[in-house]
Structure 1
């Protein structure tokens, strides 16, 4: 029997009432994963032995009725470190590395009784927007196996959308949670920078990376984010701002709330069908009592350029540690130390990772630092200032999550610029360190369209309030792909 159509609250009640056991729920989840995995390619490692051992321990002590997530399975992106479970960031250079510790976010999952059933596929080192840059295999879109699932958190999104798991963790550097959530028709939250500890997240761009959450519904997303949020002394960028109850505003009406529509988010390059669906969603929020008005974010058009300089520069620095000596892949037939470094990194890193390392190294090099990295930092400040001005008058910003629906597998592999522009609507949020969510808001050509809601720093509960109000009065979140039992 499958339980993947039940919410966390429903599963919790079944566990507390002893109508099912944690072992039964875990076995059911593993069965759902295995039944769909050949089509999806969502997992790099299915941790059956570890998950069942944890479930048995939970059953032996008894499910804690006061802990909603006790005994609930989920999946974790493979750039989030898991003790005694191979963690590779989907890269050849880390193949075979078994960490001796857990990421703080994973420790928090275990503290609340959650069961990790597998590590999910991704673009190598989180560098990609399609899910095709994994060194192992591509992930497929849950709605159409010929389409990309989005990236870089491709497996985490596809696993939830296809009914393999109910919940998952991903990471978001420039849209890597929100864009695949949009492409797969699920809920994906990138929280405020610093809300969730980055300790144990294999770094791509340290000033941009943030762990976040995937789910079928808004409330479940809030409940999972509640588990992993909080200050961590091991992460110097971790925020000490008090964590609210993220579900506290869910169910409240949104009458009188002011929502901004940036004209730049509906301009050139945005598919007309996507625009139509998101504007219809904005009209729906107006019917619920929100005040929706057009605004401008004039510097957002420079976001992609600034992001790829800043992100690549930080990646160039962060990925120096993978040198073929301390852990992971080491090239053979080495003649000297320099040969070891060069051959191991050349053979171990994929093409996209090497492209970004080279771009970042160039941007940081003598004679170019001021022209590129420093200038990108100044543009980043202008983008953050644009958001701040809008938030002086508005509660949230609304727009499409991605400029198009999911595109064909392989269609943009030879055009990096086109691939990078797929993140044009999500990147500014990371540059400013803001929270943003993608929720299902329509369909175009039979594929999901995501609506992005952006809030001021530490306003996740307000984002959840509006997202839940939209979800409660529409049916888009109820639509499922065929692989998850939806209509053909």
Structure 2
């Protein structure tokens, strides 16, 4: 069995026992990556850095007392700034940008001895649910059931595809409205969005600052716990970072949820929801009941306003954050004609550098922040957000320990199939996930079964703020009960 197919937990144990070296483990992944260009997952390969880091990890492992991630080969989403390595957020406007600094998350991972195999594909500036807005071209789902190429989901599509196809043992993702959990569900892997403020945003290219949160994408819940612990922690460079101790998330995986209360929100039963998703959700609840949890119906009455509120707040913050890409300091600068001034340079640079979806969201965001519409849209959306957060607070105050919902309204769809005239159709993919970002809560997607076509489907568990350990334990119970072990057949 090739080492690139291992989980982080299995590789950690093998490395510590000396059964494999970090260099051999890394080579196994690099070989798999070179054979998988069809998937479009890795967009900047860094084999030299990887092997240098692997050799250093082997020295640490020999010396003993190496951290959990020492020698573990990972993929890094192209949204994370990595020193000296292209960090483009999958946008032409950042073509050629090589940061002079390292994001806090990647610094933490490298300090723990992790190995960077390269940068992963994503939707441009993390805006998208299908990885079709990337300047690098589409990332492709390793799952295939007919002659179509399927989406791996978005925006962390390259991360999801790389983990599902065993190109790396884990990958970083970011989640603004479901960008870790939806691709995880589409590719049959685990993805957790931590509580807002648990993981530093410093050095991660900003989309919507009050919603963005980085998290791990892995092959198992145990791996997610190990990886999340290494990413988390207070960072004085990020004013929204929480000054809280990081618990041992792996130690929280006791597999015991007896007496815990799991809420089933009635508002998540959408009109026209596929019967397969309904059945999956019901079966998931039964698995948790069989493990000794109490299943209770709850109401989150403001859910129906979540998507509209999200698609006002996120573009508003994006239009503000993306104002800095103007061709002056870094990245792309348009070629100017004689007589062009600074305004023309800004306009031409931004028109050339940003793709259509990013342009659409910047325009929506600028509109809702403009003088005549600020109260009608942005302020109203902020009030709705507060109500959505309150819904969850009331549920948790009534003794609910976790909330179980579907992760996505369908399994993976074909690339190009949703690129219809109406972008709202694509936005509906986030219907079950955006509430969690609006409320700042932790949420995890766990693969629990295959649909009739043979594609993976996931369920989402939502937890109390700062209680990722408890949330991961619920996910661990669900993972064990579902027994999902299916892998995509290798066609690439």
Alignment TM-score, normalising by the size of structure 1? 0.97
Residue 481 in 1 paired to residue 488 in 2? yes
Aligned to 2:447: 440
Please give the secondary structure, in 1, of the residue aligned with 2:427: helix
Q: Does structure 2 conserve the Cα–Cα contact (< 8 Å) formed by 1:190 and 1:436?
A: yes
Q: Distance in 1 between matches of 2:134 and 2:270?
A: 32
Question: 1:9: Cα distance to partner?
Answer: 3.0
Change (3 A) 1:474 1:484: farther
Q: Does structure 2 conserve the Cα–Cα contact (< 8 Å) formed by 1:36 and 1:483?
A: no
Question: 1:16: Cα distance to partner?
Answer: 2.6
Counterparts of residues 225-304 of structure 1 (less than 5 Å): 225-304=228-307
Aligned to 1:52: 51
Q: Deviations over 1:312-369 (max 9, x none)?
A: 0000000011001111111113422111100000000000000000000000001100
Structure 1 gaps, min length 5: none
Q: Deviations over 1:100-133 (max 9, x none)?
A: 0110000000110001101100000000011111
Q: Does structure 1 conserve the Cα–Cα contact (< 8 Å) formed by 2:8 and 2:170?
A: no
Q: Does structure 2 conserve the Cα–Cα contact (< 8 Å) formed by 1:316 and 1:358?
A: yes
CA RMSD of aligned residues (A): 1.4
For residue 190 of structure 2, the aligned residue among 180, 187, 190 is 187
Aligned to 1:413: 419
Q: Does structure 1 conserve the Cα–Cα contact (< 8 Å) formed by 2:449 and 2:482?
A: no
Q: Distance in 2 between matches of 1:464 and 1:440?
A: 13
Q: Does structure 1 conserve the Cα–Cα contact (< 8 Å) formed by 2:216 and 2:224?
A: yes
For residue 209 of structure 1, the aligned residue among 206, 209, 212 is 212
Q: Does structure 1 conserve the Cα–Cα contact (< 8 Å) formed by 2:436 and 2:443?
A: yes
Aligned to 1:399: 405
Aligned positions, number: 483
Please give the secondary structure, in 1, of the residue aligned with 2:458: strand
Residue 160 in 1 paired to residue 152 in 2? no
Aligned to 2:438: 431
Q: Deviations over 1:35-59 (max 9, x none)?
A: 2222x11111111111112222333
Q: Distance in 2 between matches of 1:9 and 1:312?
A: 38
Please give the secondary structure, in 2, of the residue aligned with 1:54: helix
Aligned to 1:72: 72
Q: Distance in 2 between matches of 1:19 and 1:243?
A: 30
Residue 31 in 1 paired to residue 38 in 2? no
Q: Distance in 1 between matches of 2:204 and 2:273?
A: 32
Q: Deviations over 1:351-395 (max 9, x none)?
A: 000000000000000110000000000000000000111111200
Question: 1:62: Cα distance to partner?
Answer: 4.2
Q: Distance in 1 between matches of 2:169 and 2:282?
A: 29
Counterparts of residues 323-342 of structure 1 (less than 5 Å): 323-334=326-337, 335-342=340-347
Q: Distance in 2 between matches of 1:483 and 1:166?
A: 17
For residue 388 of structure 1, the aligned residue among 368, 393, 406 is 393
Q: Does structure 2 conserve the Cα–Cα contact (< 8 Å) formed by 1:278 and 1:441?
A: no
Question: 1:411: Cα distance to partner?
Answer: 1.2
Question: 1:61: Cα distance to partner?
Answer: 4.8
Change (3 A) 1:255 1:484: farther
Question: 1:3: Cα distance to partner?
Answer: 0.4
Alignment TM-score, normalising by the size of structure 2? 0.96
Please give the secondary structure, in 2, of the residue aligned with 1:24: helix
Aligned to 1:368: 373
Q: Distance in 2 between matches of 1:472 and 1:277?
A: 15
Q: Distance in 2 between matches of 1:247 and 1:9?
A: 10
